[in-house]
Structure 1
């Protein structure tokens, strides 16, 4: 079976040559949810941006391969690459308010991708969006489609963006911490919606998060990152049952325990971080030698 996403040896650098992604390799199979987990600055969102072709101007891909359903994005022209990414991928962003244009009604924003990128006619696009709004349990879709983003709650805005992401039946969705801006109760509802839609549509998801609780609930496989480097990957049950890397174990130990709310937090041990820093510095020296 051809993977929905295959990343091999991906390194990305800043203008000064510093690496922000370090030889990252991972695979997302069709219909699979793979979580990318790590602390802030670990490179999770950077990987998602590389897949979607929206890296910041200050970051360039230095080496490696990104394949979408067997097609190497590096082999395509910029126009062909944008067309393939537009047809096969979608994004569920972190902050639904900033992701939506405040000066436009919800309706046109949710159908733009269907009409302008995929070439659907307006009637077909409108019908598809209404169908998806029903699937994400929006009770009054007509009112929502006429609304501006500020007229909706955070949970409603995120449901709209989830509907828009699934509307064109993408083969891969990058979900970039899609519950971070929501309160805990709404987070649970949104995670259930994403999981239900993913199962129904058979969509592969690259799920970016720093929350190990979310990882346990939604993913089948996990990739743990630190400073742009993969330190561990495993099936989700195996990772939680027997984490192999000291950093993974430290992350788990640092997670608040809801069963013991008065327990002291355990920060990641300095010795673990020092060991990782030494390992990364050595890898970067080896990498720079042939790359200049």
Structure 2
């Protein structure tokens, strides 16, 4: 059974009546990693925010369902929805420096989740936090727990966010480009760490990224987005063997090849962009006439 299911999810900017998500449907099973790929503005992060109930105030859902464990979040009261998401979901954000509170030590930024969500006492939460820091391969967890975020490297801060995300044993984690702010060497370590932790805990993972190379290493399935619409849903081996949609094929062809340094980049052809925009325009016209 899938833990997360999106069925025809649509969203718009309220005042401008501008669509941001168009009929998005996808699923993530326990222990599965679903990649969301596409260029900037495609709607990848917006999907994650919709699932977590943290859409900007100017954005509203206009249709569809968000099911967690078979339960439709849209049918719950705001209080029950927040409780359900808080109990079962977590986020690994993009920028570890801004995601951590600079005025607080590391310890409470992990233990508060255990105390508030699981109802643990503070001593038990501190012990578990140290275990988690050890699990994400941070040396001397007790010392790091006493540190402030600015005293740690970017890689260590991201490891702390990963530990915090897994702290309350969530059923679903949204990872929103979690390696963007890191250098290449640290990126590789963090990706392996996320995959190892996800496999060990059996967590469903929604992974937002621009990088198809990351998808090939981390994900089981992927959804390719353009203009807030899923243009391809495929398993990862099938996608890299032969994408089904013209835009997906162009996106894969545009990916730099590390085996050929210095080669010219291949942009997505204008004709392909025109074709996928025509698909979106046709969908919008159909919605407008309903």
TM-score interval, smaller chain: over 0.9
The aligned residue for residue 182 of structure 1 is: 182
The aligned residue for residue 140 of structure 1 is: 140
SS of the equivalent of 1:157 reads helix
Q: Is the 8 A contact 2:113 2:167 kept in 1?
A: no
The aligned residue for residue 283 of structure 1 is: 283
Asked whether 1:77 is paired with 2:70, we answer no
SS of the equivalent of 2:137 reads coil
Question: How far apart are the structure 2 equivalents of 1:83 and 1:92?
Answer: 19
SS of the equivalent of 2:289 reads helix
Question: How far apart are the structure 2 equivalents of 1:150 and 1:94?
Answer: 17
Question: How far apart are the structure 1 equivalents of 2:3 and 2:181?
Answer: 28
The aligned residue for residue 119 of structure 1 is: 119
Structure 2 unaligned regions, length at least 5: none
Question: How far apart are the structure 1 equivalents of 2:279 and 2:204?
Answer: 32
Aligned-pair CA distance for 1:289: 2.1
Question: How far apart are the structure 1 equivalents of 2:123 and 2:143?
Answer: 18
Aligned-pair CA distance for 1:285: 1.4
RMSD (Å), alpha carbons = 0.8
Q: Is the 8 A contact 2:117 2:168 kept in 1?
A: no
SS of the equivalent of 2:191 reads helix
The aligned residue for residue 232 of structure 1 is: 232
SS of the equivalent of 1:267 reads coil
Instruction: String of CA shifts for 1:75-95, please: whole Å, max 9, x gaps.
Output: 111111011100100000000
Question: How far apart are the structure 2 equivalents of 1:73 and 1:258?
Answer: 43
The aligned residue for residue 213 of structure 2 is: 213
SS of the equivalent of 1:94 reads coil
Question: How far apart are the structure 2 equivalents of 1:164 and 1:63?
Answer: 32
* Count, aligned residues: 289
- Counting only pairs closer than 5 Å after superposition, residues 123-272 of structure 1 correspond to structure 2 as 123-272=123-272
Question: How far apart are the structure 2 equivalents of 1:54 and 1:66?
Answer: 13
Asked whether 1:39 is paired with 2:39, we answer yes
TM-score, normalising length: structure 2: 0.98
Question: How far apart are the structure 2 equivalents of 1:234 and 1:279?
Answer: 19
Question: How far apart are the structure 2 equivalents of 1:236 and 1:58?
Answer: 34
The aligned residue for residue 3 of structure 2 is: 4
Question: How far apart are the structure 1 equivalents of 2:63 and 2:201?
Answer: 33
Question: How far apart are the structure 2 equivalents of 1:120 and 1:54?
Answer: 26
Instruction: String of CA shifts for 1:120-173, please: whole Å, max 9, x gaps.
Output: 211221111111100100011111111111100000000000000011110000
SS of the equivalent of 1:26 reads strand
Instruction: String of CA shifts for 1:192-251, please: whole Å, max 9, x gaps.
Output: 101111111101100000100000000000110001000001110010001111111111
Q: Is the 8 A contact 2:93 2:178 kept in 1?
A: yes
